[in-house]
Amino acid sequence: MHRHGVGSVILVIARRELAAVFQTPLAWMLLAATQLLLAWVFLEVIDQYQGIAAPELEIGFNAALAERLYGATLMLLLLIAPLLAARSLGQDRQLGTDQLLGSAPVRISAILLGKLIALLAPLWLLALLPLLLVAWLVGASPVDLGLFLAATLGLCLSALLFASVGLLTASLVRQPTLAAILAYVLLIMLSLIHDADQLAALQLSLLDWLSWSQHLVWLFNGVARLSDLSYFVLMSALFLALAQRQLANRQLG
């Protein structure tokens, strides 16, 4: 299949998946609930830094806003991404469309990329909500735009990683609920793996690199290092490649 044809197939699959997501009220309810929650966190931080007690707080306004607002958004992404990924592959099995896609002259990698694009659209929209809230403060408060842009990039890369892990676990098991649970376990393990303080220093260095939270903390502090950006891209590509291999093996079987 020509490159142009593959690109068209990916876009067709992405549009199909995206339409399926936004045709249900669940996606709109999640976005609305997320916006309300983030608005509440946003206003709470602003209220905390107003008045006489503000100079006595331990961290500055920008750091506190990034920590609270982006931390809440990260937890929402961690919760939602595996669920959407499990639904994406699980729905095909329930409707029997996975057999049709498997028998069609379409590469499994193209199917996965189409599903990934459809997953990232609502997830990245969610990741942009904190930046839209912060934009209201520009001109009215000393806002560190560099910090919030780096933190937004961190959310987008985290969404990419979470969705890739969700697609991998969804390719391993047929039950969407179990696939989501496996994704949560894997992501939490990857986040906490650097806490294994009983290992040697060399091993700790490797475990620190494997932990996505250790890379994300730099972005949440306004530092966009090439090593951290590379980590999210490479790990996401690895999980997608494993998912592609699993689906290919299932198709051959």
> Residues 50-64: pLDDT tens digits?
754 555 554 678 888
CA atoms of 194 and 196, how far apart (whole Å): 5
Q: Where are the domains of the chain?
A: 3-252
pLDDT digits (tens, 9 = 90+) for 96-134: 555 445 554 567 888 889 999 999 999 999 999 999 999
What is the model's pTM?
0.86
Question: Cα separation of 204 and 158, whole Å?
Answer: 22
- Sorted by sequence, the CB contacts under 8 Å of residue 193 that are 6+ apart come out as 207, 210, 211
Contact 210, 135 (CB under 8 A): no
